[in-house]
Structure 1
Amino acid sequence: MKKLSWFNKIVFVFNIVITVLTFVAYILPFLAPKLFPLLSVLTLILPLFLILNGLFFLYWLLQLKRQLVLSGLVLLLGITFINKFYKFSSSVTDEEEKDFTVMSYNVRLFNIFEWIPKPAIGDTILSFINEQNPDILCIQEYSQNAKVDLRVYKYKAIYMEGKNIKTGQAIFSKFPIFNQGDFKIPQAGNNIIYADIKKGKDTIRVYNIHLQSIKISPDVNEIQEHVDVIDQNKSQQLFTRIRDAFKKQEQQTEVLVNHKKECTYPVIICGDMNNSAFSYVYRNIKSDLNDCFEEAGTGFGQTYKFKYYPARIDYIFASKSMKVKSFRSFTEFNYSDHYPIMTRLSFKE
């Protein structure tokens, strides 16, 4: 440290701060959010910490300074996290008749409140679904008021709430649904539903989840406006909202995990988790399942429109008794604040 220039000393101090925050973010997935709810926000920006550590590593490497060890060690320890953020290659295999496809899509009420200034969004989404033709379709923020006709699906499980504009979640299936249900945390928003589906000789339980929203704007410019305005009340409201959202997500996760433990069938979990792949919620819901993006996806796997940051908060998980043959995030389809995701699965022989 003594041999460093004054500028490099400042850089190294920032390097240490980022390193400490990165280590904290590594640990947080193993700690319940109710213990450190505000610190849990660090898991949302862990990829940024990894990128900054990479830049620090290169900075010291070009100068042949031993300070590179600090960020190098952090990156080495976090190598398993990198695969959750970016996949360098996909493992797509040939399609077979026994395969089946699963799509998850937060449709944002089919745009009935015209958040997107385009006509007939519901019909456009319907055409997209018909074109992709998934065998099982899980929809979050479903609305019957939009009158989107999904009659191609003979079997369905729909659970709605509300008075004037009813919203909820739906599971549509080309295979018979013989059992279904929902469970909701009274103090938490959104819901979790499930359906037991018979596919030939196999039975699958499909969960469609929509966890509590953190309600952070997808527009970075709007966030910056909040930062620029020194308003203690607004800041306190933001912190309170984030803290409460993480606690409610933890409650919903606990209910889901306990319900899943009682299930004897292979499981598929789809939906909008409203949290990152580096979170406590993700770690506990994924548990012993495969993350279909990690198994067969490519690139960032972005599922949510957040300016300048490829956020992945929508997931499809599948039991290890199923082979993940392909995965795709349709980032070119801009008709909700989320992107649809779809995977192709088959049961292992």
Structure 2
Amino acid sequence: MLFFNVVLAITTLMAYLLPFLAPKWFPFLSVLTLFLPFFLVLNLLFFLYWFIQLKKYIFVSGLVLLLGITFINKFYNLQGTELPKSENDFTVMSYNVRLFNKFNWNQKANIPAQIAKLVEDKNPDILCIQEYSDFEKTRFSNYKYKQIFKEGKNIIVGNAIFSKFKIIDKGVINFPESNNNAVFADIVKDKDTIRVYSMHLQSIKISTEIGDEQIQKIDESKTKSIFRKISDAFTKQQEQALLLKAHFKDCEYKKIICGDMNNSAFSFVYRTIKGPMQDTFETNGSGFGKTYNFNYYPARIDYIFADKNIQIKSFETLNDFYNSDHFPLISRLEIK
């Protein structure tokens, strides 16, 4: 047991270091960041195991858990906070709509209309959409201002920003050798201008629905293929994250970054894009913050980041809205 505990502790410590190391240097090892929550849980179990036996080996996982305490609330928050509303509040929603079910992955009827109804009910002031498609029929007509970018030959897809506030500038960041991109809009809110991004980084392209039968059929060659696919995607995401960071680095406006990062909160990509900004889930979320409908694992790969001079007053992941492989995020904010 001590041997396995030490191996786990060393592996966990390696995973702690990976957010500070570029995936292109250690592409295969970067996959470990996906399993960090699992490692933390195992370390907790070992801690309890040695504690019950009153063994001195408790320090092995105890030290690992102490060193990783800042990682825990990126994965799970005990209770979200909601601050009182004021007339200066505004809401931001981010949602990967999976092409509005253009290819009928989901058998539910009228998914575009259901998504439009959700937006109408929640009525966010700023709406960021990833995997936006020309298939969407409602066009979110309640929004006067918009920034939409779509491209593709066989599949037309892109990102979009819809705003109730005036947009004075907008553009797109194309990622090389990829169908993914990010759009931005400079939005005037009262006396302030906010730079809003809607991003969609490189997809890993792993099936969201893995059943028990499929798990049993995964052999060594398939496992290597999956790991290679993930590590290649992480390397591309690194390039895309650095391009995005270079774009907003010198921006004089307050920033909000929304979208589908296709990576965990323990990754180099997350650390690069978030920087000193606030993660709205980490600040005001609750539970696991699951944003991606992946079986057996509460994956959080969609985010809303806000500058520190923007107060986060509430955050919610709408996990009961099953109309995509992602769940919508919504946050109430106030500029300070």
Q: 1:290 corresponds to which residue?
A: 278
Cα distance in 2 between the residues matched to 1:244 and 1:337: 22
Is 1:260 equivalent to 2:260 in the alignment?
A: no
Q: 1:241 corresponds to which residue?
A: 229
C-alpha contact (below 8 Å) 1:184/1:190 kept by paired residues: yes
Cα distance in 1 between the residues matched to 2:253 and 2:128: 18
Moved more, 139-148 or 236-245: 236-245
Instruction: Using the TM superposition, give the Cα deviation of residue 217 of structure 1 relative to its aligned residue in structure 2, in angstroms.
Output: 2.0
Moved more, 235-244 or 117-126: 235-244
Is 1:83 equivalent to 2:73 in the alignment?
A: yes
Instruction: Using the TM superposition, give the Cα deviation of residue 148 of structure 1 relative to its aligned residue in structure 2, in angstroms.
Output: 2.9
The 5-angstrom pairing of residues 1-349 of structure 1 reads: 11-221=1-211, 225=214, 228-230=217-219, 232=221, 234-348=222-336
Question: The residue matched to 2:65 in structure 1 has which SS?
Answer: helix
Instruction: Using the TM superposition, give the Cα deviation of residue 297 of structure 1 relative to its aligned residue in structure 2, in angstroms.
Output: 1.0
Cα distance in 2 between the residues matched to 1:78 and 1:32: 20
C-alpha contact (below 8 Å) 2:100/2:135 kept by paired residues: no
C-alpha contact (below 8 Å) 1:145/1:165 kept by paired residues: no
Question: The residue matched to 1:156 in structure 2 has which SS?
Answer: strand
User: How big is the alpha-carbon RMSD for the aligned residues of Structure 1 and Structure 2?
Assistant: 1.4
Cα distance in 1 between the residues matched to 2:74 and 2:219: 35
Question: The residue matched to 1:144 in structure 2 has which SS?
Answer: coil
Instruction: Using the TM superposition, give the Cα deviation of residue 231 of structure 1 relative to its aligned residue in structure 2, in angstroms.
Output: 5.8
Instruction: Using the TM superposition, give the Cα deviation of residue 196 of structure 1 relative to its aligned residue in structure 2, in angstroms.
Output: 0.5
Instruction: Using the TM superposition, give the Cα deviation of residue 201 of structure 1 relative to its aligned residue in structure 2, in angstroms.
Output: 0.8
Give the count of matched residue pairs: 336
Question: The residue matched to 1:145 in structure 2 has which SS?
Answer: coil
Gaps of 5+ in 1: 1-10
C-alpha contact (below 8 Å) 1:291/1:318 kept by paired residues: yes
Instruction: Using the TM superposition, give the Cα deviation of residue 300 of structure 1 relative to its aligned residue in structure 2, in angstroms.
Output: 1.0
Q: TM-score, normalised by structure 2?
A: 0.97
Question: The residue matched to 2:135 in structure 1 has which SS?
Answer: helix
Identity rate, percent: 56
Instruction: Using the TM superposition, give the Cα deviation of residue 215 of structure 1 relative to its aligned residue in structure 2, in angstroms.
Output: 1.5
C-alpha contact (below 8 Å) 2:152/2:179 kept by paired residues: no
CA distance 1:103–1:229, shift in 2 (3 Å): closer
Question: The residue matched to 1:146 in structure 2 has which SS?
Answer: coil
Instruction: Using the TM superposition, give the Cα deviation of residue 240 of structure 1 relative to its aligned residue in structure 2, in angstroms.
Output: 3.0
Gaps of 5+ in 2: none
Cα distance in 2 between the residues matched to 1:248 and 1:95: 40
